[in-house]
Amino acid sequence: MAKKPGTKNTSGRGQRDLHVKVKTARGRTTSSTKWLQRQLNDPYVKRAKAEGYRGRAAFKILELDDKYRFLVPGARVVDLGCAPGGWCQVAVQRVNALGDKKNKRIGTVLGVDLQEVEPLAGAEIHQLDFLSEGADDKVKEWLGGDADVVMSDMAASASGHKQTDHLRIISLCEAAAYFAFDVLTPGGTFIAKVLAGGAEGELMKVFKNQFDSVANIKPPSSRSDSSEKFVVARGYRGRPSDNIEGDEEE
């Protein structure tokens, strides 16, 4: 039976974790064998399974929120590229989307992805290309207003060429950011994955122009051999029209 996310598994306490070695099988490349061995020995993969999360990435948003506290009860959250749903699971818990906590506001979690995603209690998930015409209006309609948080753990398919992959994910992060500018409420927060590599400087300038506070952080659950990091931009200054009180009288 599946465990409720966040429920720790204490069975087998005191037993020593064993390192699993995987032999290269016929038809399996050396790189895929290394990936499989890393997965089998990854403590966050084990924790995700034990605590009922859909993937180890759930711990990244947990750690980011523990530090910056943007997933507050009552918040309206959009998760771009939400598959398989681990970030949505965390958001549902923390914004109280299920309404199961006394004396707390009930939040909303909206996930969008190009592919179909398994339904998740407390989250509304749509199959949508956020880059398509009118996607921002659809999202605000589904939310019932502007978002308090837009978050993205999206990454372009790896090409095997480090600089190409870096440019692709920076481009994806930029697209997610401009989408966020259209749907965020003033004071809102944007979180997205980027890859270190040199091209992110201009994007950081955009964030600093649009937000009061911008931080780059590598959460503990992000693998040490990965160049990924996350930008956490808080205090959205709003669209130009949000800052105009009205036309001056002639």
**Tens digit of each residue's pLDDT (9 = 90 or more) over 63-105:** 999 999 999 999 999 999 999 999 999 999 999 999 987 778 9
Total tally of structural domains belonging to the chain: 2
Peptide bond into 186 cis (omega under 30): no
Mean pLDDT, the chain, as a whole number?
82
> Any known ligand binding at 153?
yes
> Any known ligand binding at 247?
no
49 and 132 fall within a common domain: no
| φ and ψ of 15, to 5 deg | -80, 145
The answer to whether position 248 is within a domain reads no
Residue 155 is predicted with a pLDDT of 77
What is the span of the domain harbouring residue 49? Answer: 24-53
48 and 127 fall within a common domain: no
Q: Which of 60, 193, 208, 229 is catalytic?
A: 193
182 and 133 fall within a common domain: yes
* Confidence at 48, pLDDT banded by 50, 70, 90: confident
Q: Nearest to residue 236, comparing CAs of 212, 220, 214? A: 212
40 and 160 fall within a common domain: no
Inter-CA distances, 12 with 15, 16, 42, 84, 121, Å: 6, 9, 18, 28, 29
> Any known ligand binding at 129?
yes
The answer to whether position 243 is within a domain reads no
* Residue 218 annotated in active site: no
Within a 10 A sphere around the Cβ of 119, how many other Cβ atoms?
A: 9
64 and 173 fall within a common domain: yes
**Tens digit of each residue's pLDDT (9 = 90 or more) over 22-39:** 445 455 555 554 444 555
For the entire predicted model, the pTM comes to 0.79
Instruction: Tell me the mean pLDDT in the region 7-26.
Output: 45
Residue 177 maps to which CATH number? 3.40.50.150
